[in-house]
Amino acid sequence: MNYEIKHQDKFKFIEEGEGEPLLLLHGLFGALSNFVDLIEYFKPKYKVVVPMLPLFDLDIFHTSVGGLEKHVQKFIEARDYTGIHLLGNSLGGHVALVHILKHPERIKSLILTGSSGLFENGMGDSYPKRGDYEYIKKKTQLTFFDPNTATKELVDEVFEITNNRIKVIKIIALAKSAIRNNLGEELNQIKQPTLLIWGNNDTITPPFVGKEFNRLIPNSELHFVDKCGHAPMMEVPGEFNRILDDFLHKLSVAPQP
């Protein structure tokens, strides 16, 4: 599915449909392809927005969860979005959490799936090995319950990233920033309705992480999906979209405070 990539100032993004903004933040190895099913399902009812996060474009001092959050904040202000449903997967969930804690005023709801911010295995026992395609393929497959979800195109994307020395340095900087930036003591400040969708077979942010988010975020609900790993919106898009649609529908009919 080809979408028009729009430009405004330094921002690159996709914006499909009309209605309340549903803003999607991808993870460390994420890309637009992660959200195709979600975009197609929700664009008839919502303005679906996917900013391209500058994972490899920030200087090394700002290559951090905080640096990405500042980019998202400036993007939201530049586009003047309000009443946002903010969704993040993996590192994107972490950025969403930092954003809602710093700038809650434009956010209507929060959706996290496989989010970091409390605990994550990241690269497991090692950092990416350059030039080793089979290693990268195995690591990419670990993202999913069904290894076949890691298509050749997806593995090629990750391999290209990990074969670039500068990009690897920035990946490591972002991964270390995520591990250092634990939000456990701040999550009780989140007031917005929060949806947690977790794969029962997630090995990167295992199910106990979803339960802990649910315990710490006051107005949150948790849904587990069987036979699903770290990226439910890719691996079980039908189930993911149904859960999210139900959540957003409940918000739309609930009396506004």
Cα distance between the two ends of the chain: 39
Residue 30: per-residue pLDDT: 77
Q: Which has the higher per-residue pLDDT, 162 or 192? A: 192
> What is the second-level CATH architecture of the domain 6-122+182-253?
3-Layer(aba) Sandwich (3.40)
pLDDT at 164 over 60: yes
Segment 61-83 shows an average pLDDT of 96
pLDDT at 19 over 80: yes
Residue 123: per-residue pLDDT: 45
Which residue is associated with the tokens 């036979």?
A: 227
Residue 108 neighbours by CB distance under 10 Å: 18
Confidence of residue 253 (pLDDT cuts 50, 70, 90): confident
User: pLDDT tens digits, residue range 203-246?
Assistant: 999 999 999 999 999 999 999 999 999 999 999 999 999 999 99
CA distance readout (Å), 178 to 12, 13, 143, 221 = 23, 23, 17, 24
CB 41 within 8 A of CB 241: yes
- Count of residues making up the chain: 257
Segment 181-192 shows an average pLDDT of 95
Helices (H), 50-151: 65-79, 91-102, 133-141
Residue 109 neighbours by CB distance under 10 Å: 21
The strand order across the sheet containing 220-225 reads 6-8, 11-16, 47-51, 21-25, 84-89, 107-113, 194-199, 220-225
Residue 103 neighbours by CB distance under 10 Å: 14
Confidence of residue 47 (pLDDT cuts 50, 70, 90): very high
CB 101 within 8 A of CB 112: no
Confidence of residue 14 (pLDDT cuts 50, 70, 90): very high
d(CA 153, CA 213): 32
Q: Record the pTM.
A: 0.94
User: pLDDT tens digits, residue range 77-104?
Assistant: 999 999 999 999 999 999 999 999 999 9
Segment 54-73 shows an average pLDDT of 94
User: pLDDT tens digits, residue range 105-148?
Assistant: 999 999 999 999 998 775 444 455 667 899 889 988 999 999 99
